[in-house]
Amino acid sequence: MTDTSAQPRVVIFDTTLRDGEQSPGATMTHEEKLEIAGLLDEMGVDVIEAGFPIASEGDFAAVSEIAKRAKNSTICGLSRANFKDIDRCWEAVKHAKSPRIHTFIGTSPLHRAIPNLTMDEMADRIHQTVTHARNLCDNVQWSAMDATRTEHDYLCRVVEIAIKAGATTINIPDTVGYTAPRESADLIRMLLERVPGADEVIFSTHCHNDLGMATANSLAAVEAGARQIECTINGLGERAGNAALEEVVMALKVRNDIMPFATGIDTTKIMHLSRRVATVSGFPVQFNKAIVGKNAFLHESGIHQDGVLKNVETFEIMRPETIGLTAKNIAMGKHSGRAALRAKMKELGVELGDNQLNDLFVRFKALADRKKEVYDDDLLALVSDSDTHEAHDTLQVRRLRVICGTEGPQEAELTLAIDGVEHSIDATGDGPVDAAFNAVKMLWPHKVNLQLYQVHAVTEGTDAQATVSVRIEEDGRIATGQSADTDTIVASVKAYVNALNRLIERRKKSNPGDDVKTVDYRDAG
Ligand code: KIV
Ligand code: ZN
């Protein structure tokens, strides 16, 4: 194994909880944000961007609590280029052992036009706001939003101003995923060469994936001298997302021969984080996604299988264990006991308390009765499922029978507990899922837009569990729900009801639209 201790260190800045959570529908609860932040901290992420404190009370509370709890990571919050945002951000991050204020403004012609600032006025604003942030906090990051479409001369000018005003990290975002690797490298090189004081700060890259080049662009920037990569777990983020943490970290590890840079990431924690983020954000990972996709280590063709059996390196450039995937996939049988289940879950990176273990054990036994083989992925789906259904939920699915087949109409008989009181109804629909969802609507009338309904098989075989993800929207509030069951219709109804329960929680806590980040990025003043 290569000794990377003497290699330049690349700061890994994770923005899953800010840019990632900004993707419509990926909103996480307070507890989920704390859990993800805890896992990122344990994994060795250098900087966690925990949220956008001015965006909502919820964001502020999450950033403050994450700041209080962080053991190792620097905790950062985002703020626009105005004193109010920066003060609010500081109020939230100041609790951290190592706080950072991140402030940004759009510097390209398109972005300058919106707040209608001249080049000079914007330069002045940058000087004032970075100075203000630096008076509050020693660690200040400044971002030139849409840097890759900003005139070079102007970019050099404003970067120099930010450095002189005290910024310690200069972030050069490719906000719209427009750049390409060579250009990304040239831009960083140009800034390092031309801007006075550039050698005294860390240059950072923040690449969006609109053209599928985010990871390549980030790595090219590092080769040119950037020393911070902003990324998210599973590449979550606005539109097509951001550079994926697992991709940049594993690329630096596996191709350390040509990219000799070190990170502080414990890569064995990657798979667990990826699964947790997929569950809590409601954004499942595509099967063929690099590193963390379900197929990333599967070999299907005969030639590949044969090669791997003879020498695993023929078709594998990294070992699954490196990212925390256990080699042994057949997990547990009907006769396995509690101790074996606890040990297995520990191996999968899930630590369970006694009550959680008892609950999982009951559900595992029920599954083992229905399914011949219970795989690691089945167990993880069970854990995620129990995480998403709480005893205090307003709506709880008690019983469901569905009649379907070639002769319609399809029918669903549903018993739903609403605030603990059981109600039953029969409904019909255009297919069994529609019938079952109609039954929910009749028992608990509501008007929501169903934005996404997605079914995945957890493992292979006709007895596989299905995981269902549902995303709904009501007055700008978005809620996602998930569930897993060997019966696809049961999983569908539970996922739908889970999304409704989350919506009910949000109705209680927020005003319409609060879940969608309505902070106006143009409001720099
Ligand atoms: O994409 C972007 O430019 C951003 C900034 C706020 C850093 O997310
Ligand atoms: Zn971004």
The residues placing their C-beta within 5 Å of ligand 2, an ion, are: 19
The yes-or-no verdict on residue 389 having pLDDT over 90 is: no
d(CA 62, CA 515): 14
Atom of ligand 1 at shortest range from CA of 147? 3
Residue nearest to atom 8 of ligand 1 (CA): 19
Axis-axis angle for helices 181-194, 152-165 (nearest 10): 50
Number of neighbouring beta carbons within 10 Å of residue 35: 15
Q: Residue 80 pairs with which residues in a beta bridge?
A: 104
Atom of ligand 1 at shortest range from CA of 171? 7
Q: Is 272 annotated as a binding residue?
A: no
pLDDT band at 221 (very low <50, low <70, confident <90, very high): very high
From 47-51, 181-185, 506-510, the region with the lowest mean pLDDT: 506-510
What digits encode the pLDDT tens for the residues 481-506?
A: 888 888 999 999 999 999 999 888 77
Query: In a mutational test of the pocket of ligand 1, which residue from 22, 143, 520 has the highest number of ligand atoms less than 8 Å from its CB?
Result: 143
Residue with the larger pLDDT of the pair 183 and 521: 183
Distance 208 CA to ligand 2 centre (A): 6
Atom of ligand 1 at shortest range from CA of 176? 1
d(CA 12, CA 15): 10
Averaged over 505-517, what is the pLDDT? 59
Q: Residue 423 pairs with which residues in a beta bridge?
A: 416
pLDDT of residue 383: 81
Q: Classify strands 449-457 and 466-474 as parallel, antiparallel or unpaired.
A: antiparallel
Q: Is 335 annotated as a binding residue?
A: no
The yes-or-no verdict on residue 226 having pLDDT over 70 is: yes
Distance 249 CA to ligand 2 centre (A): 19
Ligand in closest contact with the CA of 102? 1
Q: Which two tokens stand for residue 482?
A: 């998930």
d(CA 283, CA 470): 10
The yes-or-no verdict on residue 390 having pLDDT over 80 is: no
pLDDT of residue 310: 74
d(CA 193, CA 156): 10
d(CA 82, CA 511): 24
Q: Which two tokens stand for residue 135?
A: 């008076």
Residue nearest to atom 1 of ligand 1 (CA): 175
Averaged over 516-525, what is the pLDDT? 50
Ligand in closest contact with the CA of 52? 1
Provide the mean pLDDT of the chain: 90
pLDDT of residue 367: 86
Phi, psi dihedral angles at 67 (to 5 degrees): -60, -40
Ligand in closest contact with the CA of 148? 1
Residue with the larger pLDDT of the pair 384 and 449: 449
The yes-or-no verdict on residue 364 having pLDDT over 80 is: yes
Q: Residue 456 pairs with which residues in a beta bridge?
A: 467
The yes-or-no verdict on residue 189 having pLDDT over 80 is: yes
Distance 241 CA to ligand 2 centre (A): 8
Distance 477 CA to ligand 1 centre (A): 23
**Residues with C-beta less than 6 Å from any ligand 1 atom:** 19, 104, 143, 145, 171, 173, 175, 206, 208
Q: Which of 492, 497, 487 is nearest to 367 (CA)?
A: 487
Averaged over 308-323, what is the pLDDT? 83
The yes-or-no verdict on residue 524 having pLDDT over 50 is: no
Q: What dihedral do alpha carbons 145, 146, 152, 157 form, nearest 10°? A: -20
Q: Which of 399, 418, 417, 387 is nearest to 490 (CA)?
A: 399
pLDDT of residue 305: 63
How many Cα neighbours within 13 Å face the side chain of 181?
8
Q: Which of 160, 48, 168, 141 is nearest to 86 (CA)?
A: 141
Residue 192 burial (10 A CB sphere; 0-12, 13-18, 19+):
middle
What digits encode the pLDDT tens for the residues 15-33?
A: 999 999 988 777 788 999 9
pLDDT of residue 81: 98
What digits encode the pLDDT tens for the residues 409-427?
A: 899 999 999 999 999 999 9
Q: What is the DSSP letter of 286?
A: P
Phi, psi dihedral angles at 19 (to 5 degrees): -65, -40
3-class DSSP assignment, residue 521: coil
3-class DSSP assignment, residue 179: coil
Residue 462 burial (10 A CB sphere; 0-12, 13-18, 19+):
exposed
Q: Which amino acid is at 153?
A: D
Residue 299 burial (10 A CB sphere; 0-12, 13-18, 19+):
middle
Atom of ligand 1 at shortest range from CA of 15? 8
Residue nearest to atom 5 of ligand 1 (CA): 145
Q: What dihedral do alpha carbons 187, 188, 194, 196 form, nearest 10°? A: 140
Atom of ligand 1 at shortest range from CA of 102? 7
Q: Classify strands 410-418 and 421-429 as parallel, antiparallel or unpaired.
A: antiparallel
Alpha helices in 176-262 (DSSP H): 181-194, 214-223, 245-254
Q: Which two tokens stand for residue 24?
A: 């419509």
